[in-house]
Structure 1
């Protein structure tokens, strides 16, 4: 990150100091300059939908069908579970303010932000401890140009490793059609795009960075998750065309730093949504499932229940001619290259914190 540190020296370096409360000019900002920067550049920025994975469900399915869900032990081994499971509630304004006030400290090599007069500092090793992973492995960001710094990187090797029957040469590796992946790798791509790169896009294509993450997970070749997240956050703060990523993670970081990520009113609204979701689950006789969180609780809970019923019935809606879940899954993978219906069913087991 040395090159970026040099670029951001001076204007972007935030003065180091304590995390004590500074005098506020309003509820969120310590200076008028902060407030104007937020209003001018960040107040209307899009915040990417924050997703989490119902890991317990998929681990249960792993016992029934290890071929289709075998990626989950690999995700766990890669130290990704804490990030995938995170479902902290968040509000767009706090996320936008965090990015608006974010700078790079080239002395401590960390990002620094401030909200409600309190400073937040996160470097690679701090973030690694926070996420329960290691700050080691291949260092790259979400932009394709950063992959050139990875020793021995070969886009052809990376992409071919993800294909069941790779061609001799892949014409376009930059944005590869995800429909050509096997079911397991399509599921992995969903997880990577929703939770690790946290893009505000559809799942039709896998870009070079996503392919590299998938390759590292499948081959158990380490990649530096904290580095990736910090690079992505920094790019989001500088590139207005990008959606602001990692909303739930930022909310979690704020909370751990003693900053309420929600106002009292927002906390009560979130609690009410949880109570309503729990009540709905009890009425449906599915109270054994943990309630979802966020603005789309009821929708997500309903989708999860639907997927559970679908799986329990052996994916009957996917292929009614077969008699058990494993046979249906295998037949579907042979019969269709994009596994579209099966992916749609599984996608419903991804929660949203919008």
Structure 2
């Protein structure tokens, strides 16, 4: 349990700020061992462009990872053909996905205790003729799990989502008893495993304004959400709701809860990002591995300038290490 945590950090889109965020980490001491999964040549080129001196050390499984300032462990991945900041090149798409594959398979093999992802550019990957809707779905398929849950978190707030990247017109049909049950169980179980919350208290938002107002503003709460929550409560889950989303995110409710569960992407995430953008972390629950990510995009306009803010990456690493330690503790407890 006291063994040092080693996290894989994928550098993301080569034209974006991901590579330089990774290099920024090398300028300071780290509590967790970090192995950057990326093209060594890309990191060298970006360091030269930024005028940074960073000692890159090739890492192999079983070795400790560098934590000292000025040094960075690298798991080299071939295939990056263009290192120019700010300019997308579809030829790099296969390389980007290979970094994710290497990191995830390393986690599954036990070489890494978790993975942290810098941002990728979905559009350029699709432009390369590769069907890709995001890290979450890619890792879900690679790990072979039926359902995953997207959760964003700051120091003060955790918000998970029943549905993610869906047009608003499709959300109601997607909120089924099965989906809501799976998401709720995963959320409760992973809050316990990764964050040591013995019995998580979860606030559940309604879908409609005023949570349907007794059926006058929609019946999804009456037909689907309320019966499903009642069944889950009978299993021992501590679920409060459905609550009107416009009052759920207030201290009266949040101060007595461990997480909020929103029905759709823009119901919950604007609140969280207003509260903590730049210091929030994106977490994928339901995977057999630990995965966290930054809460921002590739920021092509900042790439190569040295002005990118690493705040969200620091949060993603801190939370990833916390989750990895939580899982180790839970595994140890289960073996007793």
Q: Do these two structures clear the TM 0.5 threshold for a shared fold by scoring above it?
A: no
Choose 1 or 2 for highest CA Rg: 1
TM norm structure 2:
0.24
TM norm structure 1:
0.23
Specify which structure has the higher proportion of helix.
Answer: 1
Specify which structure has the higher proportion of strand.
Answer: 2
